[in-house]
């Protein structure tokens, strides 16, 4: 399934590494979520735009081969994906970014990409 393929893709992403800052625990959970939201949006937008621009993407049936298209788009979106992982590490603690990526982020990514694709196609 998509999760196993994307989990393997995290090996390509690699460890985002420390950005030289300690986690900002003095911020509330809502503030940390808001701070990382822009990075999540950027990674998701990149993946959705890459999927839509792929010649295999079918506007008449967007869910067709969506998993494969998403998997293939991740290497093309490494910069925003790495930035998202690094931001999550910065705000929630070292190592949390990769856990977020392979867990909650990948869980909702197909639905988020479909939602974002609608906006991209309408542009």
Residue 2 has pLDDT above 80, yes or no: no
Rg (CA), the chain: 15
Confidence of residue 25 (pLDDT cuts 50, 70, 90): low
**Torsions phi, psi for 28 (to 5 deg):** -70, 165
Mean pLDDT of 33-41: 95
Residues in contact with 16: Cβ distance below 8 Å, sequence separation at least 6, in sequence order: 82, 85, 86, 89, 97, 98
**Does the residue 61 lie in any domain?**
yes
Q: Lowest mean pLDDT: which of 5-9, 68-72, 115-119?
A: 5-9
Considering the domain boundaries, does residue 16 fall inside one? Answer: no
Does residue 56 lie in a domain region?
yes
The per-residue b/e assignment along 85-109, b for 16 or more CB within 10 angstroms, e otherwise, is bbbbbbbbebebbbebbbeebbeeb
Domain with 85 in it: 2-8+31-122
Other beta carbons less than 10 A from residue 36's beta carbon: 22
Give the count of domains, the chain. 1
Instruction: Tell me the Ramachandran region of residue 27: left when phi exceeds 0, alpha when psi lies from -120 to 50, beta otherwise.
Output: beta
Please tell me the predicted confidence (pLDDT) of residue 120: 83
Per-residue pLDDT tens over the stretch 58-90:
877 777 889 999 999 999 999 999 999 999 999
In a domain, residue 24? The reply is: no
In a domain, 95, yes or no: yes
Highest mean pLDDT of the ranges 19-23, 53-57, 101-105: 101-105
The pLDDT confidence band at residue 4, using thresholds 50, 70 and 90, is low
DSSP state letter for 74? G
Top-confidence residue, 13 or 90 = 90
18 in a domain, yes or no? no
Residue 87: inside a domain: yes
Q: Is residue 42 part of a domain?
A: yes
């Amino acid at each position: 399934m998509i999760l196993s393929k994307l989990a393997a893709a995290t090996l390509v992403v690699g460890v985002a590494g420390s950005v030289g800052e300690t986690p900002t625990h003095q911020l509330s959970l809502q503030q940390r979520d808001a701070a990382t939201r822009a990075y999540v949006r950027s990674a998701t937008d990149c993946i959705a735009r890459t999927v839509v621009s792929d010649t295999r993407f079918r506007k008449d049936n967007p869910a067709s081969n969506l998993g494969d298209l998403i998997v293939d788009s991740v290497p093309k979106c490494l910069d925003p994906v790495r930035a998202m992982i690094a931001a999550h590490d910065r705000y929630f603690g070292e190592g949390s970014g990769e856990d977020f990526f392979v867990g909650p982020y990948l869980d909702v990514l197909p639905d988020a990409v479909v939602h974002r694709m609608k906006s991209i196609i309408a542009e």
